[in-house]
């Protein structure tokens, strides 16, 4: 199991058609890759969480265009997509008293590599615990 600390950008935006297109177009024009993304909504606004290939440049340009950005460090966990992997990972953190505040990720087929982004209450401890887990 590989674990890295990544800089996540959170972008709050109005919840109407075209806002995701505006953000993704701005990032594409910078030739920056979106490595992971999550979009959630509530009644009045949407929240995009993303990992970009160049977070400082991405943030600078989006702020210049009027977007509100919050930064946070998250864990990027690369593991094999097998039944029980999330259970094993979450039990290891729970045993250490570390809260998973949110997570996002995806995969296509069992046995393929996958990547999870985890926002946790104790980043450095969680990094150490997960780095020691074997990828089954």
The 3-state DSSP class for residue 110 equals: coil
Residues 6-43: pLDDT tens digits?
999 999 988 888 889 999 999 999 999 999 999 998 77
Residue 115 or 136, more confident = 115
Which tens digits make up the pLDDT trace of 37-74?
A: 999 987 778 899 999 999 999 999 999 999 999 999 99
Alpha-carbon dihedral angle through residues 22, 18, 103, 71, given to the nearest 10 degrees: 30
The two structure tokens encoding residue 93: 């953190």
pTM for this model (two decimals)? 0.86
pLDDT at 136 over 70: no
Query: How far, rounded to the nearest angstrom, does the alpha carbon of residue 53 sit from its chain's CA centroid?
Result: 12
User: 84-97 pLDDT, tens per residue?
Assistant: 899 999 999 999 99
């Amino acid at each position: 199991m590989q674990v890295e600390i990544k800089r996540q950008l959170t972008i709050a935006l109005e919840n109407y058609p075209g806002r995701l297109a505006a953000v993704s177009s701005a990032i594409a024009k910078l030739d920056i890759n979106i490595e992971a993304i999550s979009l959630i909504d509530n009644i009045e606004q949407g929240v995009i969480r993303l990992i970009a290939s160049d977070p400082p440049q991405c943030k600078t340009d989006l702020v210049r265009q009027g977007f509100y950005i919050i930064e946070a460090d998250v864990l990027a966990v690369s593991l094999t997509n097998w039944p029980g992997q999330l259970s094993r990972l979450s039990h290891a953190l729970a045993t250490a008293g570390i809260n998973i505040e949110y997570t996002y990720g995806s995969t296509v087929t069992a046995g393929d590599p996958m990547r999870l982004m985890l926002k946790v209450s104790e980043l450095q401890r969680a990094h150490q615990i997960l780095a020691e887990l074997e990828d089954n």
